[in-house]
Amino acid sequence: MSRRPAANADPTDPPAWDAGSDAAPGCLNLRWASALLEGMIAAGLARLVLSPGARSTPLLIAAQRLEAAGRLRLTPILDERSAAFFALGLARATLRPVALLATSGSAPAHWYPAVIEAAETGLPLLLLSADRPPRLHGWGANQTIDQTRLFGAFVRAFHDPGLPQAGAAALKAQRALGRRVALVSSGKRPGPVHLNLPFDEPLVPEADCAEPLATGKDTRTRVSGGGVAEDLGTSVPGWGANDSLEPMIQADPERLGTEIKRLKWPAGRGLILCGPGAEPRTPVSMATQPSLSPALWRCAEALGLPVLVDPLSGLRGGALVETRIGAYDAFLRNPTLARALRPDWVLRIGRAPVSKVLGHWLEGVPSILISEAGVWSDPSQDALFQLEYPAAAVCEALRVQAAVKPDPDWLAHWRAAEQQAGRLADAHLGQAPTLPWSEAQVIQALRAAIPDDEALFCANSMPIRQLDTWWRAGGRRVILLGNRGASGIDGYLSTLAGVNQAGLPCWGLTGDLSFCHDLSGLLLAARLDRPLLVLNNGGGHIFDYLPQRGLPDYERLWQTPQAVELQALAALGGLRHWRVENRDALERALGAVGLGPGLIECRIDPEVSRRAHLAFWERVRRAACPQAPY
């Protein structure tokens, strides 16, 4: 293909093309875009979320044709930041790569908060930023910025293949790039991958461009344990969002056992801490990940180890398991219990826990980390070593080797503390009608209302901490989710909509500030399938529990209360609205909304709530230790 440069050409003009070139430029753009997307689909892509723009037109037309062929599903969302969090919700529920598409300029920069969250939590996003051709960069051309490595260290990889090229070899390379980035994004260390894709005009293909879609052999690829790409052959008919690629890496039990012996497991009493993301599977991602649960519970039972389950670990709900401990945020406030239960070592699975009480209590305790991806989650810097194997394989190896000598009394101490904390919580919540209305009753009502195998997406700041305190272990199989990678309050409504659209019925629990921070997410309210509960306490009252509470101008500069009517905002999103100020009204609202969408505004007096929580924690702190031989 050849270009014919014009004398004294304006650099902002598109190049002239020889009439005899082997591909018209618009059609070449489309073929280039199609090859890329076909490669991604071959490696597991099923959803693409887009925001409107001109420069991304070749990719969008290619995606349109793939959607018409039943191979890709498109979701247009106006606001790029909202689109990114929506895609994050899809990826969180399915654990499969989700593509994001935006035009050039500042548009992809609005993805940044969601990209950070995806990077920190290991969620597969494919970031497709359309760009102006290189000849326009540095000349002040409209909507042209330097998009090179826009997301810095927050992506697993960055590629800019340059302008589209003609020829079978070039298209093969582009298709291979699509496969590669999809596999990297969902591989051993999943996360976002950025592709910057320049296109020259014309962006709309010529009328006679009949771009064929690949319909025959659809090569699937995986990365073997040795890092070599392998052809998995012709695709299974209908292969798509609910089928699985084969596991990328199988742990070698003999090698793992040898490594555990070599590293010398620490002596004494230990425990297993399952932080956020320890068990990432959901009911719509069951085929994509091996389950940790069976091996974990077998190991804990055989070795007599308590398993502390963070609310976002994926392990707090379900049938009764004697080794599962969920009330630690409460009973570790009792100094006598905290001293008696302090372990000699801790095995950490997943990221750092929500509970600050637990985090502080574990400081100085030697830790063993498990992270197949090699990511160190050790904020207290107490790790002795890390095992880069699947957590289920490590648990099974510990059980088989009997690497820890069981101590029945140790687990009995923990069970006694868990049961006492449950009794104290029941007594506190059973003080109605004198019990002050607070978040505790909201969470108690939600726990009773959400059916098995549905989800609750909880916002950060106070709601997730309240959930940690009041959501008891065991019970229904409710999947508790949250954007805890960077613990931001942004993108809440959009992520909630994405989780629902992935096919996982998901309830919402958020504060008023998180709700207001993502008002563009209200444009996605029609995509909600379940109720959204907003804890409206008039601002950021997490600071009521922190030293900032006593600072000058505290309310204006830290709490930042918002003077908005949630009923009006609910109407803007087309949601029915209920305003409740006590447990009975909440029960009626939950009964009225049923299993459909709606916004329940729970009005809570922050000072009354604060006093109620401090009273409960004081009750726990002063309680006599449960009967167990310490």
| pLDDT > 70 in the chain, percent | 88
Judged against a pLDDT cut of 60, whether residue 19 lies above it is answered with no
Q: Is residue 181 located within the same domain as residue 305?
A: no
Whether residue 618 lies inside any domain: the answer is no
CB-count exposure of residue 208 (10 Å: 0-12, 13-18, 19+): exposed
- Residue 464, pLDDT > 90, answer yes
Q: Are residues 412 and 452 in the same domain?
A: no
- Same structural domain for residues 576 and 515? yes
Residue 122, Ramachandran bin (φ over 0: left; ψ between -120 and 50: alpha; else beta)? left
Mean pLDDT across 557-565 = 88
Q: How many separate domains does the chain show? A: 3
Instruction: Check residue 211 and give its pLDDT.
Output: 65
Mean pLDDT of 302-326: 95
628 pLDDT above the threshold of 80: no
Query: CA 458, CA 481: separation in Å to the nearest integer?
Result: 6
Check whether 45 has a pLDDT greater than 90. Answer: yes
Judged against a pLDDT cut of 70, whether residue 292 lies above it is answered with: yes
Q: Is residue 609 part of a domain?
A: no
Say what the pLDDT of residue 319 is: 85
With respect to residue 410, please indicate whether it lies within any of the assigned structural domains: yes
What are 443-463's pLDDT values in tens digits? 999 999 999 999 999 999 999
Beta bridge partners of 511: 535
**pLDDT number for residue 554:** 86
Residues 274 and 411 in one domain: yes
Window from 34-43, 50-59, 192-201, 544-553 with minimum mean pLDDT: 544-553
Dist CA 441 CA 180 (whole Å)? 48
Say whether pLDDT at 343 is over 60.
Answer: yes
Cβ count within 10 A of residue 73? 17
Tell me if 18 is assigned to some domain: yes
Q: Is 403 exposed, middle or buried (0-12, 13-18, 19+ CB in 10 A)?
A: middle
Banded pLDDT at 221 (limits 50, 70, 90)? very low
Quick one: pLDDT band at residue 59, thresholds 50, 70, 90?
A: very high
Adjacent-strand bridge partners of 599: 532, 577
- More confidently predicted of 391 and 207: 391
Would you say residue 625 lies in a domain?
Answer: no
Checking if the pLDDT of 225 tops 80, the result is no
CATH number at residue 540: 3.40.50.970
Q: How many CA atoms lie within 13 A of 200 on its CB side?
A: 20
Same domain, 504 and 593: yes
What average pLDDT does range 157-182 have in this prediction? 97
Query: What is residue 535's predicted lDDT score, i.e. its pLDDT?
Result: 97
User: For position 626, what pLDDT does the model report?
Assistant: 86
Backbone φ and ψ for 545, nearest 5 degrees, come out as -100, 5
Q: Do 334 and 480 share a domain, yes or no?
A: no
Domain co-membership, 489 together with 564: yes
Domain with 326 in it: 253-417
pLDDT at 543 over 90: no
CATH of the domain at 270: 3.40.50.1220
The answer to whether residue 630 is domain-embedded is no
**Encoded tokens for 160:** 């800019």
Write the CA distances from 159 to 12, 40, 148, 521, integer angstroms: 24, 14, 9, 30
pTM for this predicted structure: 0.90
CA pair distance 364, 347, nearest whole angstrom: 13
19 lies in some domain: yes
Instruction: Tell me what the mean pLDDT of segment 583-603 comes to.
Output: 96
Q: What is the mean pLDDT of the chain?
A: 88
pLDDT band (50, 70, 90) for residue 213: low
Residue at 422 is within a domain: no
The rounded distance, in Å, linking the Cα atoms of 130 and 126 is 13
Amino acid type, 321: V
pLDDT band at 94 (very low <50, low <70, confident <90, very high): very high
- Mean pLDDT lowest for which of 119-123, 244-248, 314-318? 244-248
